[in-house]
Structure 1
């Protein structure tokens, strides 16, 4: 579980925004961090007093090297590290599941098959470790995390290369008493066989709920490990013989990790979680769901220093505007327009007009203050993988701007400035900083996708420019707690509630939920939140996770259908969705089928063929031909010569909302004043009503639109709500 950051904690480490503490020890602190890519990470930071010790820094450098040499789906991967930094750090992929120790304490021992499956997966992880020339040296329940698609071996902090000389003292015991080999208890060098002994202890614990050599004082534990036989009472007979071999006192008599894997290979699960009890699956789901609602970011010393550097509002404005910039006019917008019009006429009058404007003493008047433009920005994927959506959104915003500028009573003229991020996160961050540097930019709408939106947040937020996305639904993003960002679309974690209620209305009482890891964050957030909402509605949910590398999902579908669900949900990629649709069509299942909307595109229809018919999609975008947006669709077709795509009406809506707030400001507002106006009141658009939570800045309205595939196309079925 997480703890709040303390005031003395850093705000960022190695490009990771720190969100909370995961734990602390004598040598350092482990934080929950979020990288710029949006991925969560466990960031281990060494305390300064140890970083200054050459031997300790060398040991940490060895830890980083060791962890990077392990490449296994059952071991956490290194995502970044800097052992030479002033505060050395190591980041690994964050696994939100509970540890095996927590699981057994909360839910009791695992069933017989669960122990065997766990043993096989961990044996494979250790095989990778050993083939990399390493010894883990601390295989224990606390270093094994459980997820819906298998366990993860973590903490290579004391992993040791077999060919290296140890940096620890000769008589130091390395490992955790109760889960280490006799040779380690005698302070002798560990070997791959030592890890196998620890694996045997761990599996005995998983099967019985107690360590095989008991508990108590460290000296007593070490003595029993060296001299006593393990207590294997309660271990299933089909596993006991293998564990006895793993726990042999002589390392040469133990099987290798690969041999343990081969001994358990017949118990391979078919990419499912049926090897875990329901209580454990719920615990994993609850822990994962908790990570979707991350704790508030605590102010730290680094944050406070940065805030102090900005000073009061005047200093913040000075930071945004050069010293030689003219004061922002606060007169009535129409009056300013007439004054500027008069100045333009004088300029057009040539020398005579200039002579007339001179003072009596012949001195020319002071230069007029520079004219401030009213700029609305758009950042979108105009030429990349989502260019159809991005171009439609840019056109929707442009249409709203042109309609406003055509008004005879407009108080100002609005300029649209567009940038193309090409759907690339690196470019998105770059073009955001470039656009944000324009001092006349009032607000920006974009970006198109989740990754580019997350990458662009910092560029706009640091200049206090309001940013609104009409299509990116991720929750949360890579930059934590942006202060001037509004998500004008229901997020992935809000949308599934509507689908769950609809399934209940359709009579669903048992729902299979298949989450495709290949679908990334959208698939996980939609699928996992769907499972949670089903539980709230007292509907039995049966989750499964398809690993990215799984090629054939037919066995998973067959297993899920065998449990007699009356509804089915899939979240993932279009290609995998098509494969699932075909596999499901080959069974006798005839209940409602729901497809996560990111997978609902033309590729799914084409690849699934007739099997696509009947699938329902609950999406935050309205059909462009729907009655509420027909006037927009006609104007779009007249302007651009084609029908608007999905998401164009939403961008048009958001642009009109921003323009409305600008006209209500009574003069040119600052970016902060505009943001406050956007938060203040409800805006009724043509797609939905926009009201934002004042504290969390998310959209409070939940208008969702249902589609059903009929005859090879997505047929619009109207708006649904809670």
Structure 2
């Protein structure tokens, strides 16, 4: 999905007239651009604050070099780049279709035949990637764009040469949990070869045919554990013996725990899926009709380009959506904070363009939503946030000559990720709600973020701090606090400054799910950077007798102790 350019965005980059934003996150922003010849391109630009950092610039140079070396009809080609510019950029051919992930979510799992052809074409792309000595390292549904003539593998941002020393730490897990290999899950940097991409391809194909990742969903550490130790969930995937090597067998081969037991991309193309060869120059009938219609609709939407001159945020005469202020509020996330605090400055953002600013104007009524755990295990925090919102609104409404009034509307999700989507939908469907505070924990936030994104409804969180919430590209999410990993860094710094620290003990309590994982990972990485790696132990969720673990840690000679878990633990 594309969005309008922001006032701070440049008008052009490297000879490309910028038309819209395609996404933002990580190293920079991706724009939809058009060359002087009229060719469309996806232009990735490094953010200014990172451009002067040697590590980021080196990573971007590596991405450009990696992408230029891959030539395959099923990999998006590079059309231009300047990694040494003041604002380094990379342009690739623009593919207007949806990602594989969007197609599966919108239309359901693909038929077996479609998945076989998909596997054949992606294996051909990986064959070219591996032939030039590269490993992609992030083969996942979001990095596969669908077109009627076949898929396109994108994003070589974390690809690197198989014999190259990684810029990132060897102890850092790189990739997307649920679609990474056991080697990646265990951060075995030196062991990441082409076979790692084949495992990820197996995960992707299993997702495409079943609609679910083969190692489930949930907390990151649980996903990594299942990837390394458990068998994949391939239930319901039918064998298709009439077509040679059936898909189920192929998946088992790709998802072998031992990299040496997996097929190569060349073997998949020439032996295992040889009968699914793609015709040269002819049409490819490989997708079901509803997906093809979805691709056409998405392409038409993406290609409905704005006028070149001038670039404006709100063109005169455009039809207003049902809740105009909601869209405008999203244009400046800071306005959501001002509104939540009861500031009249937000009126300049929210008022209708044709509403006179006089005392005779009718009073507008808006609402702040609060989605929180108001009745469950974290109700103390949830109720405190509700009271804070009501106090701010009360103070604002007591002002004289205010241009609009505010109310608070609540949605209790009980701290449950099962109840969270319904609570979010209640606030999303209320046209008076301009922004939402919450939810109360990481698990509920993960469940509702896509819905708030789709509704362009700002979501401001003061409780959730999981890294995975900010690692993805969300258009409407603002995390109003440091992440859990960053908040744990001072513990490592304190130990590093303490004389005599040699062996810190570290307990990760899985009762705290994502919170404990982020805290443990952040602390571990920093301690290792100081040259004092911890002695780690993991406690299964809801464990009450921790004496054996503590005894083991004391026997190992720990001289300090860190607990990664909730306060109750």
Task: Tell me the TM-score normalised to structure 2 length.
Answer: 0.52
1:123 maps onto 2:132 in alignment: no
Q: Which of 253, 256, 264 does residue 256 from structure 1 map onto?
A: 264
Within 5 Å, give how 1:185-584 maps onto structure 2: 185-189=185-189, 190-237=192-239, 238-262=246-270, 263-270=272-279, 271-297=282-308
Question: Alignment partner of 2:167: what SS?
Answer: coil
Whether the aligned pair in 2 keeps the contact of 1:66 and 1:156 (CA below 8 Å) is: yes
The match for 1:684 is none
Whether the aligned pair in 2 keeps the contact of 1:48 and 1:87 (CA below 8 Å) is: yes
Task: Tell me the TM-score normalised to structure 1 length.
Answer: 0.41
Paired with 2:310 and 2:182, the residues of 1 have a C-alpha distance of 47
Paired with 1:207 and 1:292, the residues of 2 have a C-alpha distance of 29
Q: Which has the higher contact order (CA 8 A, sep 6+)?
A: 1
Question: Alignment partner of 2:81: what SS?
Answer: strand
The match for 2:181 is 181
Whether the aligned pair in 1 keeps the contact of 2:27 and 2:56 (CA below 8 Å) is: no
The match for 1:112 is 112
Equivalenced residues, count:
302
Whether the aligned pair in 2 keeps the contact of 1:193 and 1:256 (CA below 8 Å) is: yes
- In the TM superposition, what whole-angstrom CA distance separates every residue of 1:153-203 from its partner, at most 9, and x where no partner exists? 000011111121110012111110000000000111221000000000000
Question: Alignment partner of 2:64: what SS?
Answer: helix
1:79 maps onto 2:79 in alignment: yes
- In the TM superposition, what whole-angstrom CA distance separates every residue of 1:419-462 from its partner, at most 9, and x where no partner exists? xxxxxxxxxxxxxxxxxxxxxxxxxxxxxxxxxxxxxxxxxxxx
Whether the aligned pair in 2 keeps the contact of 1:100 and 1:142 (CA below 8 Å) is: yes
Paired with 1:284 and 1:272, the residues of 2 have a C-alpha distance of 16
The match for 1:93 is 93
- In the TM superposition, what whole-angstrom CA distance separates every residue of 1:30-86 from its partner, at most 9, and x where no partner exists? 000011221110000001111110111011101100000000000000000000011
1:50 maps onto 2:50 in alignment: yes
Question: Alignment partner of 1:24: what SS?
Answer: strand
Question: Alignment partner of 2:86: what SS?
Answer: coil
- Report deviation, 1:298: 8.1
Paired with 2:64 and 2:82, the residues of 1 have a C-alpha distance of 8
Paired with 2:238 and 2:265, the residues of 1 have a C-alpha distance of 20
- In the TM superposition, what whole-angstrom CA distance separates every residue of 1:449-495 from its partner, at most 9, and x where no partner exists? xxxxxxxxxxxxxxxxxxxxxxxxxxxxxxxxxxxxxxxxxxxxxxx
Paired with 2:163 and 2:278, the residues of 1 have a C-alpha distance of 36
- Report deviation, 1:288: 2.1
Whether the aligned pair in 2 keeps the contact of 1:104 and 1:110 (CA below 8 Å) is: yes
- In the TM superposition, what whole-angstrom CA distance separates every residue of 1:536-574 from its partner, at most 9, and x where no partner exists? xxxxxxxxxxxxxxxxxxxxxxxxxxxxxxxxxxxxxxx
- Report deviation, 1:236: 2.8
- In the TM superposition, what whole-angstrom CA distance separates every residue of 1:493-517 from its partner, at most 9, and x where no partner exists? xxxxxxxxxxxxxxxxxxxxxxxxx
Paired with 2:110 and 2:309, the residues of 1 have a C-alpha distance of 38
Paired with 2:221 and 2:228, the residues of 1 have a C-alpha distance of 11
Question: Alignment partner of 1:152: what SS?
Answer: strand
Whether the aligned pair in 1 keeps the contact of 2:41 and 2:94 (CA below 8 Å) is: yes
Question: Alignment partner of 1:29: what SS?
Answer: strand
Question: Alignment partner of 1:80: what SS?
Answer: strand
Structure 2: segments with no counterpart, 5+ residues: 240-245, 313-569
Whether the aligned pair in 2 keeps the contact of 1:135 and 1:160 (CA below 8 Å) is: yes
Within 5 Å, give how 1:126-205 maps onto structure 2: 126-189=126-189, 190-205=192-207
- In the TM superposition, what whole-angstrom CA distance separates every residue of 1:129-167 from its partner, at most 9, and x where no partner exists? 000110000000000011011000000011111121110
Whether the aligned pair in 1 keeps the contact of 2:20 and 2:33 (CA below 8 Å) is: yes
The match for 2:33 is 33
